[in-house]
């Protein structure tokens, strides 16, 4: 190897890729929750119960290595069966 070659592996995700993937994950989670809360099966006179969705399948335009890296950094939690969730936030109730 010459000294001009980088010693960092080229397959490791960049901070920019991680940021974009996390934002895409948060958007998917938010949309899934909104979709669940606005389902037609609920009565319009109900109390407007919040969604029970806590984990979703991540967007498939990003490789699994990115999701594994976000779990390693503590920015996501693996929930099993291909689903991920946001880590527990202080001041938020977990179900």
Q: How far apart are CA 70 and CA 17, in angstroms?
A: 11
**pLDDT of amino acid 47:** 60
Nearest to 75 by CA among 17, 18, 12: 18
Contact 86, 55 (CB under 8 A): no
Contact 70, 76 (CB under 8 A): yes
Q: Which two tokens stand for residue 30?
A: 């938010």
10-residue stretch averages of pLDDT, the chain, 95 residues long: 48 92 96 82 63 91 96 96 86 45
- Global pTM reads 0.75
Q: How far apart are CA 88 and CA 95, in angstroms?
A: 10
**pLDDT of amino acid 40:** 64
């Amino acid at each position: 190897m010459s000294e001009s070659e980088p010693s960092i592996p080229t397959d490791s995700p960049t901070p920019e890729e991680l940021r974009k993937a996390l934002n895409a994950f948060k958007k998917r989670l938010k949309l899934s929750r909104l979709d669940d809360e606005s389902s037609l099966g609920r009565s319009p006179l109900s109390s407007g119960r919040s969604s029970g969705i806590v984990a979703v399948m991540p967007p498939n335009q990003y490789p699994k290595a990115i999701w594994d890296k976000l779990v390693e950094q503590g920015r996501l939690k693996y929930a099993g069966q291909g689903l991920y969730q946001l880590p527990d936030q202080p001041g938020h109730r977990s179900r």
